[in-house]
A and B are shown apart, each in its own frame.
Chain A
Amino acid sequence: MSNIHVTTTVNGDVMEFLCEPDESLMDALRDRLSLTGVKEGCGSGDCGACSVTVDGRLVCSCLVLAAEAEGCKITTVEGLAKGDKLHPLQQKFLEHAALQCGICTPGFLVASKALLDRNPNPTEHEIRYWLAGNLCRCTGYDKIVRAVVDAAAELRRTA
């Protein structure tokens, strides 16, 4: 297999890497660009732990080939905080104890941000449906949903 050269913008920075044709974007982000906030839960599109946005759209990076990312703009959980200042979603996840082991958390944060970018005032129902593709085996989801509701309110206040 010959390697493919890919240029992308990740969290605002232009990045280049070489990847194999069948390599997933998830693996390239983790292993080539050391963005290990992208987690692998299942590798088959079922758990959402690998969630990133590609050109503004929420996707499972395990179901995108790295080669498909040529020229695309990617955001991972590493792009959420501004320097030392956590994104309101991250802050509210901490305050509400919306994580235990934490492996699902980056995916929930990226997916929740994609929701709030689209709908700043979602109902609990809308949050639960939007996040149905993010699985958590620890928290029982309630704290996550409360954190998202609270972060949305905070973002509306400061907008």
Chain B
Amino acid sequence: MRFAAPATVEEAVRLLGAEPGHAKVLAGGSDLIVQMKTGRVEPDLIVDIKRISAMRTITAEAGGFRIGACVPCLAMEENASLKATWPGLVEAARLIGSTQIQGRATLVGNLCNGSPAADGVPALVAANAKVRIVGAKGTREVDVLDVPTGPGKNSLARDEIVESIHLPARSAHSGDCYLRHTPRTEMDIAVVSAGVFVTVDGAGTITHARVSLGAVAPKVLLVEACSKAIVGTKLDAKALGALAAAASAACKPIDDKRGTVEYRTKVAGVLARRAAETAYARAKGAK
């Protein structure tokens, strides 16, 4: 195995494209190094992208934020403006593993690793984030939803790298929230999770909503029926009931030691409802 730490994204892309064997991109390493240790992946080349300075920063862009692929989860919380604007996303990043893991692991890594239970991903989908992918053929922008394709899989070509995530500008009366269910409060993997983003008008009626679910299908779900259930409402009991039912109806979970199909399906509705309540309160100005 060889190790390279290029200083530019162009050089990183060139190295990946030129490698005849198996090449892996290294950002935080908290998934990749474990996979190497267990023998699940045996790369011929590791391309460490942390020397690429543009990929290490959080910057304001087009009224939103651009988060570099190498920004560790803990650094998101340290950015006061990002934390105030996207509290749900920042809370999701602070649920990924331990403090030690959050000092290293990145949101982009969480996305590209392709785990259906990734904590960062439903929050990104609810936020309608886009990723910028750089490859030998140029740069493209895609929806976060289109990056993972199934457990452990993503849609990147072998010479492509996600350079950054862009969170769009959001109107003032908006709020987001991410919740997950785990048997332990820390250091655990989501059995079910839900991300919600809502915008309200002056009267408190929801004008726009995005609801995502994690760990209930081979990849993250964006559930249009959930948005429909709450747009035009003030999130009264009837709307919350319809939201929970739509979330449960969208689930296609597996049965495993951490949760049965029935359990995951039920809890998805509960979490979507609770996350919507918090996102709605935040949209109306709650801290």
Q: Interface residues, chain A, CB within 8 Å of chain B?
A: 1-2, 4, 21-22, 24, 43-46, 48, 51, 57-60, 62-65, 67-68, 70, 111, 114-115, 129-134
Contact = CB atoms under 8 A, between A and B. Distances in A.
Nearest to B72: A57
A58 B99 contact: yes
Greatest chain B CB density within 10 A among A1, A44, A45, A65 is at A45
B29 A64 contact: yes
B100 A59 contact: yes
B42 to A, nearest CB: 10
Contacts of B155: none
A44 B34 contact: yes
Given A4-B3, A58-B103, A24 B33 contact: yes
B85 interface: no
A21 B185 CA distance: 36
Given A21-B46, A22-B1, A59-B103, A65 B26 contact: yes
A106 to B, nearest CB: 13
B257 interface: no
A63 B103 CA distance: 11
B99 A64 contact: no
A29 to B, nearest CB: 15
16 contacts: A21-B46, A22-B3, A22-B36, A24-B33, A45-B33, A58-B99, A59-B103, A62-B33, A63-B30, A63-B34, A65-B46, A65-B48, A67-B3, A68-B48, A111-B99, A132-B98
Nearest to B45: A21
B97 interface: yes
A51 B100 contact: yes
Contacts of B3: 4, 21-22, 65, 67
How big is the B interface, by class?
Answer: 20 to 34
Interface string B167-203: 0000000000000000001110000000000000000
Contacts of A115: 99
Contacts of B46: 21-22, 65
Interface string B1-35: 11101000000000000000000001001100110
A57 B103 contact: yes
B50 interface: yes
Contact of A58 (B29, B30, B100): B100
Interface string B98-131: 1111011000000000000000000000000000
Contacts of B72: 57
A8 B48 CA distance: 17
A133 B99 contact: yes
Contacts of A63: 29-30, 33-34, 100-101, 104
A4 to B, nearest CB: 6
Given A21-B1, A133-B187, A68 B29 contact: yes
A133 B101 contact: yes
B287 interface: no
